[in-house]
Structure 1
Amino acid sequence: MMTESEDVQVKRHIWTVIASLALIVGAGCSKEENALPSGSPIEVALTIEPQEVVANEAVTFSIKVTQDGAPVDDARETEFEIWKDGQEQHETIPATLQKEGVYTAQKTFAEPGAYNVMYHVTARDFHNMQTQTFTVKGAADQADGSHAAHEHDQASQPEHSAAHEHGSSHGSEEHHHGAVVNMHFQPAESIKANEAASLTVHVQKDNQALTEAAVKFEIWREGEEKHQYVDASEKQPGEYTTANAAFPASGTYTVKVHVEKGEIHDHKEFSVTVQ
């Protein structure tokens, strides 16, 4: 039998332990809450200057990146993917931060015609990409005052997906069946031989995330005939990923992304270097 004094001491000890546990749990929850990223997606606005683009004259592409109305100056990736209508070759140029969330790049076009520009922005756990069409006029068109159509896609709310902190790669478009889709491929930042690697691709059609598609990665090493196929799962709308890609040896590999949904059957090739 414990004395009254011993009983009081035991109760005090129990309450001390309970209070300590409560403080630890509370501190842990606080840290977790502080570690959570903002749930608000980034927003991106694209502008092209001048509005009437003329061949052989510099064009400035600008994107303003914001989150909750505040400028985003720490984007991990900002670039423009540009191609002429009807051509498979795409050119990617990086955009640099100028001020208060504004990233820009310049380019001169030698040939008149219809072009497409797609921006890619990865920032704060989100990836954002949208395409806009514009027309490059010839010098003669500007001189005689004729106005070639300057077409804009006015979609102001681009799709977003959870960002992966990886490098990006772009490939040329191959033949397709049905509708053409846009792809932004993001392999792991560093891929080592004999280690499982993550591969991610963001897929869009008509500037909207292409959801519920069947996506797989076809992988082979340069100079080898053996190909492996890895299915990707959709983690966010239009974002397909796998963490189980295998690269048995160092070298340069080709990753062909296959996308199928209904009448859509498209695929594009990308290059990956394995250490």
Structure 2
Amino acid sequence: MKKLFGLVWLVVVLGILVACAEDTPTNDTADDMPVPIAVELTVTEEAEVNAPVAMAAVVTQGDDKVEDANEVVFEVWEEGQKDASVRIEATNEKEGLYSSETSFDHDGRFHIQVHVTARGMHSMPVKEVTVGDGGHYEEHAEEGHEHGHGHADGFSMHFVQPENVKGNEATDLVVHLELDEKPLEQARVRYEIWSETDADQRAWVEAEETKAGEYAASHTFTEPGTFQIQIHVEDEHDLHEHETHTIEVNE
């Protein structure tokens, strides 16, 4: 009888242990989620005319220093002149540090934004630089914004310029969007495409959000030539931004 009781008790204990194991949540889902990259941008925030302005970005992923970034580019422009921006390739200094240097030949307010693509993710923080007395700018209606020359405060757009585009071959169009240094999600993004030789004929391509803040589409150019791509961005909070880029299509 004691043996039978002991056997029953053992079965009950094993049943409880199995049930507890089944009820214990696993961390598989959390483990599957990639740790986002972090980008710390530092620049010389005040400089004299023609003096060197240091630019540095430290890229990390958790405790890991990212030395294998696919792209690190500093984009520099003067206040209100985003369309005339200059891109400067960064030097990989190892240990997750990417750096470069620039200078400005007149007083003004300038913006430096670093575009980092690494491990399937993108980040693009921005900082402001005051040169000399900071220049003088009219703080009235943003005419540039109306025509795509400027962006709303906190909004950033980075178009991945396609290379070696050929006619009659599918071309990937990818843009990264941020608002207040966070990926802009659930926006409506469209690519308006036209040839410089026939601006009346325009194609509209809807982009799909492939990951947080990244919007991609595919388009086939049927002939060689110079094409314009205007990216239209809208969201439910009345954001409406656009930016135009040029693509050369080869035979």
Please give the range of the TM-score, normalised by the shorter of the 2 chains: 0.7 to 0.9
Aligned equivalent of 2:170 = 196
CA 1:173–1:123: 2 relative to 1, 3 Å: farther
Equivalent residue for 2:68, pick from 69, 74, 77:
74
TM-score when normalising by structure 1: 0.67
Aligned equivalent of 1:265 = 240
CA 1:178–1:113: 2 relative to 1, 3 Å: closer
Query: Could you give the per-residue CA deviations for residues 200-252 of structure 1, whole angstroms, max 9, x where no partner exists?
Result: 11112332322222210011122122111101111222211113x12001222
CA 1:222–1:241: 2 relative to 1, 3 Å: same
Equivalent residue for 1:179, pick from 106, 127, 152:
152
Aligned equivalent of 2:216 = 241
Q: Which runs of 5+ in 1 are unaligned?
A: 1-36, 139-147, 149-171
> What does 1:97-112 correspond to in 2, within 5 Å?
97-112=92-107
Shift in Å, 1:68: 2.7
Shift in Å, 1:117: 1.1
* Pair 1:256 & 2:230 matched: yes
CA 1:215–1:222: 2 relative to 1, 3 Å: same
* Pair 1:136 & 2:131 matched: yes
Report the 3-state secondary structure (helix = DSSP H, G, I; strand = E; otherwise coil) of the residue aligned with 2:105.
Answer: coil
Distance in 2 between the 1:113 and 1:203 partners?
26
Q: Which runs of 5+ in 2 are unaligned?
A: 1-31, 135-143
Distance in 1 between the 2:109 and 2:174 partners?
30
User: Which stretch shifts more, 175-184 or 77-86?
Assistant: 175-184
Equivalent residue for 1:58, pick from 49, 52, 56:
52
- CA-based RMSD of the aligned residues comes to 2.6
Aligned length: 206
Identity of aligned residues (%): 37
Amino acid at match of 1:256: Q
Query: Could you give the per-residue CA deviations for residues 169-211 of structure 1, whole angstroms, max 9, x where no partner exists?
Result: xxx9762599363210115444321122211111123323222
CA 1:174–1:80: 2 relative to 1, 3 Å: farther
> What does 1:200-219 correspond to in 2, within 5 Å?
200-219=174-193
Distance in 2 between the 1:107 and 1:99 partners?
20
Quick check: 1:217–1:231 contact (8 Å CA) kept in 2? yes
Amino acid at match of 2:202: H
Shift in Å, 1:48: 1.6
User: Which stretch shifts more, 96-105 or 202-211?
Assistant: 202-211
Amino acid at match of 1:198: D
User: Which stretch shifts more, 116-125 or 232-241?
Assistant: 232-241
Query: Could you give the per-residue CA deviations for residues 84-131 of structure 1, whole angstroms, max 9, x where no partner exists?
Result: 222242111111112322111111112222221110011111111111
* Pair 1:40 & 2:40 matched: no
Quick check: 1:178–1:263 contact (8 Å CA) kept in 2? no
Shift in Å, 1:38: 8.3
